[in-house]
Structure 1
C-alpha cells in the first residue's frame, strides 16, 4: 500500500471547502482541515496539529506568512496563490451586477505585475491604482484599514480582498467588499508542486550519510590504570555502545583508527534522530555517559565517497569548537552546527565572493563564511568582538584580530562603543562590509 501524503489544510472555512473539493480527486493525499478566524489563532492551531501532517497547504499568504515568520514548523509549507481565473469571476460580478467601474476599486494581496497582466489579458484598458501588496505576513487590520481609508476619502466605491475576515470587517464598516476565492487551477498547480517536493524529500532521505565519531581513549583512565590493555578495554566498551546506536539508525559501524569510528547509513534516520539536524541525539540513545563525550562530523553525499569526505570536513569543523561538538556538511557543501547550540549557524565552504575577500586578507574562507552567516543570523551588519567570540566559540582576542584585520583592509569600521561597566574598557562595535 502506497503511503499517502498527510496534508494539513489551513485557512478560512469557505476556502478550505474549495480546496477539499479539488484534493478529493487526488488519492495520494489525506487531509485534515484547520480553519481560523483571527490572526492570533494561527500559531496555536498550527502547534496543536504539527504531529499529524507531512506538509502544510495554506489558503492564502497571510496565514502562510505568519507560519513562516514563526519558524516553528519543520514540514514544507505552501500556499495557493491568487490567480487570474479566481479574480475574473469577482470582476465580472462587480462590473455586470454592481455596475462599479474598475477605477473605483481597491485590491489587496495580488502582485502588481500580476494584476496588470490580468487586466491586459482581459483586454481591459485599465491600470489598477489602489493595491495593498505584501510579501509575507501582515495584520488583517492593516489590510482593512487600507481599504476603509480609501473608501472614506471617496477614492473608491468598493474593495476586492482575498481575506474572509477582512471582507466581514469591511462590510461591518459599511464598505462594499468582494471576496476572491482560490481557483481550482491554482490549487491543482500547487498540489503538483507538493507531489514533486515529496518525491525530492524521499530522494534526500535515501542519500548516503556518514558519521565520523572521535573520542579520547585516555579521558576515563587514571594514572593507576594507564596501560594499553586498559585503553583496549575502553575502546571495546565504546564499540559495543556505538553498535547499539548504529542499529537504531540502520547503519554499519567501521573502526577508523584509535578512538575514531565511522557509521555508514542514510540521511533519513540521522535527520530524524537529530530533529532535522538541529540537536545531538540524547545520551541514552548513544548509549554513552558523560565521560564518553564524543566529537562528531556528519557528511551527506550522493556517493559513499562524497559522504565520507564531507564527514571528515565536518569533523574538522566540529573540533574547532568545544569538545563534544557535532557539525554537518551537506552535499551542496553548506555546513551547519554546532548541533544543539543556540549559536548554531549555516555557512558555505567556499563561495567565490568570499574566496576573493580571503585573498585580500589573512583570514580564511571558512572564517569569512562563518562571519557572514552570523551577521545573517543576527539580522544586522554590526557586531562586537565579544559577540563574535561567543558565536564562533573562540577567544575574544581571536575575534578582535579578525575584526581589526577587516578594518585594516577597509572591510569593517568602528561605528560605536558600548560601556557595560563603569571601570571597564569600552567595547568597539564594528560595521562589517563584506
Structure 2
C-alpha cells in the first residue's frame, strides 16, 4: 500500500522535492504550491483527510499547519542547515566575494549556525541573525534584512523563506535564498517511510478492552430470579458480540459481569477518535454507557496488553462506574475518555520513583499529580482543586498534600477563601 504524501511548499522548493519523488515508487504525492503564507491554511484544510503524512518545504508552512491543530497525521519539513546553507555560502564567498560576517541570516538558531560554521571550517563568525520560533511574516524578515543593509552593516541577506527573498529583491536588497538539497529531501523521505512502517506496526499491535458491566441494575424492583439474572447476562453478551464484531475482535468472559475483547490498536484508536471519546454504545448496540467501566490496554504481546488492560480498568474503577482509561505500552495512562478534563501520566519517571520512595505515595498518584500541575500550567494547587481533578475526596487530597509538605516537596504559600463564611483553603506550591 502506497504512502499518500501531501507536499506543500514554495514553487522553487517544491520543484526540488518533486524531482526526488520518482525514486520512491512507494510514495503517492499530492503537491500544493503556495505564494503567500496567509494562504497556507486555506490551501491545506481541504486535503487534511486525503493523505497519510505531510511534508513541508520549510519551517514556516510547517509551523502554520501545526498551529491549526486540524492535521492529525505526522508532519515534517526539510531543514535548510547543512549542505543547503553550505552551497549558498560557497556561492557568496567564491563568486560574489562576500564573507559570512558581512551577511544577515534568518531562521537558524545561534547554536545551529555556530555549529555549522565550525564544521565548515569558516573562521569568521556571523554577525547578524534573526531566529524565530514557529511562523513569521515575509514583511517582518524583509524589514530586518533591509534595515541592516541600508545602514551598511551588511552587504547581503541570506533567507530561508521564498516570500521574504522575493520581497527583498523587490526592495533592491541583495538576497540569496537557501534552498533544500536533494540529499536533504532524500533523508526526510526515508525518515517518513520508516515512520509509516512504524505506524502500521503500531496499528497492528494487540489491544485489549477489559469491561465491567452491571446489567442487573436495569432489572425492575431490585429483586429477580436466577432465570432473569441469566437472561440479563445473555442479552449483555449478545450486545457485546455485536460490538466485538464492530471492533473486528474476539470476546471472552472473565468472571461475572467482566468481559475482555481482543482487537488491534489501530481499530480502537479509530473508534475512540484517538482515545478521546467513548463509542456510542447505547445508540449503536443498546448498552447503557453509565453501566460500563472500561480499561484499554496496549502491548507488544497479548499477555502484556491484557495486563495493561487490567491496570487501566483499576484506574477507571477508582473514578467510578462509567469511566474509561487507557494504559499504553510506554507505561503512560490517559483518561477518562469522553470527558472535557482528561489527564495523561506516566509510570516510568525516575524522579517520581524517587519521590515515591521518600513518601508514602505511589508513583501512579504522583504521576497523576504531575500531569494535573502541567495541565494547569502552575505548581500551585489547593486540596479542593486537587480532589476535583483526581476525582477523590477533599480529605484524601489533603492527605496527599500534607504528606508532600512533611517531606519538603510541597510548601504552603498562601490561603484562599472560597466565600466570606467558608474556611480558608491552603494553597500549596509543589516541586516534584
Query: What is the TM-score normalised by the length of structure 2?
Result: 0.91
Q: 1:139-171, CA deviations, whole angstroms, 9 ceiling, x for partnerless residues? A: 555544443443344322221110112223334
Question: For residue 380 of structure 1, what is the aligned residue in structure 2?
Answer: 378
Whether contact under 8 Å (1:245, 1:285) holds in the other structure is no
Note the aligned Cα RMSD (angstroms): 2.5
Is 1:158–2:181 an aligned residue pair?
A: no
Query: 1:304, 1:221 → 2: CA distance?
Result: 35
Whether contact under 8 Å (1:350, 1:366) holds in the other structure is no
Whether contact under 8 Å (1:241, 1:286) holds in the other structure is no
Query: What is the TM-score normalised by the length of structure 1?
Result: 0.91
Query: 2:36, 2:399 → 1: CA distance?
Result: 51
Aligned residue runs from structure 1 range 29-48, under 5 A: 29-48=27-46
Whether contact under 8 Å (1:215, 1:292) holds in the other structure is no
Whether contact under 8 Å (1:148, 1:175) holds in the other structure is yes
Q: 1:244 aligns with which of 218, 242, 245?
A: 242
Query: 2:148, 2:408 → 1: CA distance?
Result: 49
Q: 1:208-263, CA deviations, whole angstroms, 9 ceiling, x for partnerless residues? A: 11110111132112226523222221111111111011111111100111111001
Whether contact under 8 Å (1:246, 1:263) holds in the other structure is yes
Mean Cα deviation higher: 102-111 or 422-431: 422-431
SS of 1:374's equivalent in the other structure is helix
Is 1:64–2:62 an aligned residue pair?
A: yes
How far off its partner does 1:136 sit?
Answer: 4.0
How far off its partner does 1:380 sit?
Answer: 2.9
Structure 1 segments unaligned to the other structure (5+ residues): none
Query: 1:378, 1:40 → 2: CA distance?
Result: 32
SS of 1:147's equivalent in the other structure is helix
Cα distance change, pair 145–406 in 1 and its aligned pair in 2 (3 A): farther
Structure 2 segments unaligned to the other structure (5+ residues): none
Whether contact under 8 Å (2:416, 2:425) holds in the other structure is yes
Question: For residue 202 of structure 1, what is the aligned residue in structure 2?
Answer: 200
Query: 2:165, 2:211 → 1: CA distance?
Result: 58
How far off its partner does 1:100 sit?
Answer: 2.8
Question: For residue 318 of structure 1, what is the aligned residue in structure 2?
Answer: 316
Whether contact under 8 Å (1:212, 1:315) holds in the other structure is yes
Query: 1:14, 1:251 → 2: CA distance?
Result: 48
Query: 2:9, 2:424 → 1: CA distance?
Result: 51
Whether contact under 8 Å (1:211, 1:264) holds in the other structure is yes
Query: 1:298, 1:224 → 2: CA distance?
Result: 31
How far off its partner does 1:114 sit?
Answer: 4.0
Mean Cα deviation higher: 310-319 or 66-75: 66-75
Runs of 4+ deviating beyond 6 Å: none
Question: For residue 363 of structure 1, what is the aligned residue in structure 2?
Answer: 361
Aligned residue runs from structure 1 range 134-149, under 5 A: 134-138=132-136, 140-149=138-147
Is 1:80–2:88 an aligned residue pair?
A: no
Cα distance change, pair 155–385 in 1 and its aligned pair in 2 (3 A): farther
Question: For residue 169 of structure 1, what is the aligned residue in structure 2?
Answer: 167
Cα distance change, pair 139–375 in 1 and its aligned pair in 2 (3 A): farther
Query: 2:292, 2:284 → 1: CA distance?
Result: 10
Q: 1:407 aligns with which of 402, 405, 412?
A: 405
Query: 2:170, 2:425 → 1: CA distance?
Result: 55
Q: 1:270 aligns with which of 268, 276, 299?
A: 268
Query: 1:93, 1:371 → 2: CA distance?
Result: 55
SS of 2:70's equivalent in the other structure is coil
How far off its partner does 1:360 sit?
Answer: 1.9
Question: For residue 349 of structure 2, what is the aligned residue in structure 1?
Answer: 351
